[in-house]
Amino acid sequence: MADGAAARVRHLAEAGTDRACPFGACDGTGWILGPEDIARPCECRERRVARARSRGVASVIPAKYRGLGFDRPPITDLDPTVVGVVREYVDAIGENLDAGRGLWLMGDVGTGKTSLAMLASKAALEHGRSVAIYSLPRLLARVRRTYDADAGEQSYLEFFERLTGVDLLHIDDLGAEKRTDWVLEQLYALVDERYETQRSIVVTTNLDQTELEEQIGARTVSRLVEICGDPLPLFGDDLRYR
């Protein structure tokens, strides 16, 4: 097995790589070639494997949010206390993802919840972490499509494993879907698996904690509290009308 890994290291090194090692330990292949051509995995390999597993989930920052920054509107127009908490989270993004810590942004429509959540997802991607970004209705629609998958297409289990395996799962508009037993089951399974494996979640919702418990179930909300801590409240006028 070591010989095979060593051969792969030599092949990738000769072919070149477009991803530098974040630890500066390997040549970007995810393996370190030692004496007598014995290869051992680099510390970055686990992250590379996670990125590979995340293929097939939405991980691109929407164009509208790519220019976001803490030093410009709309972020500078938001509650500075909440912005400060999110900034602290982003400044320690690697540590927070390794510990499975997340963020929960709650408040009125148009108060900047999604923009702040996108800053966290953007930071994770910039640090070479795997991220899946979905609004809840779009996520559930994507899950439903796996039920009719043809041979060779992504199955439900494959998609679920990718959603639960990424470093950061970003769900927008949590609680926006009509409450059904199927929705409750899907959300609980997803959040519970990430809770058990200590993987981070960033969520936004227009509902307060009591309303969210009624909409998606107390068990799911309890696990979100464990992952994300208390919700960060954002209230006020809809910034989109300014």
- Tell me: do 23 and 67 sit in the same domain: no
- Tell me: do 174 and 126 sit in the same domain: yes
Task: Say what the pLDDT of residue 17 is.
Answer: 46
- Tell me: do 147 and 64 sit in the same domain: yes
Q: How far apart are CA 165 and CA 130, in angstroms?
A: 9
Identify which has the larger pLDDT, 50 or 14. Answer: 50
Whether 218 is in a domain gets the answer yes
E strands of 88-185, at which residues? 103-107, 131-135, 168-172
* Structural domain boundaries, residue 202: 53-241
193-222: pLDDT as tens digits: 999 999 999 999 999 999 999 999 999 999
- Tell me: do 176 and 227 sit in the same domain: yes
Task: Say what the pLDDT of residue 12 is.
Answer: 44
Q: What is the pTM of this model?
A: 0.74
Mean pLDDT of 58-66: 80
- Tell me: do 35 and 98 sit in the same domain: no
Q: What is the CATH number of the domain that holds 104?
A: 3.40.50.300
Residue 105's Cβ-count burial label (10 Å; 0-12, 13-18, 19+) is buried
Residue 28 zone, left/alpha/beta (φ > 0; ψ -120 to 50; rest) = left
- Tell me: do 6 and 63 sit in the same domain: no
97-134: pLDDT as tens digits: 999 999 999 998 878 999 999 999 999 999 889 999 99
pLDDT for 52 beyond 70: no
Q: How far apart are CA 219 and CA 23, in angstroms?
A: 38
Whether 101 is in a domain gets the answer yes
- Give the residue among 163, 67, 81 at the shortest CA–CA distance from 115: 67
Reported as a pLDDT band with limits 50, 70 and 90, residue 18 is very low
- Tell me: do 32 and 113 sit in the same domain: no
For the ranges 39-48, 85-94, 139-148, the maximum mean pLDDT occurs at: 85-94
Residue 36 backbone dihedrals phi, psi, to 5 degrees: 60, 30
Task: Say what the pLDDT of residue 56 is.
Answer: 46
- Tell me: do 25 and 132 sit in the same domain: no
pLDDT for 155 beyond 50: yes
Whether 48 is in a domain gets the answer no
- Tell me: do 110 and 33 sit in the same domain: no
Average pLDDT value for the chain? 83
Contact in structure between 122 and 61 (CB atoms under 8 Å): yes
- Tell me: do 31 and 111 sit in the same domain: no
Contact in structure between 25 and 44 (CB atoms under 8 Å): yes
Count of domains observed in the chain: 2
- Give the residue among 202, 119, 199, 118 at the shortest CA–CA distance from 164: 199
Q: How far is CA 9 from the centre of its chain?
A: 29
pLDDT for 166 beyond 80: yes
For 200, the 3-state DSSP assignment is strand
- Return the amino acid letter for 232: L
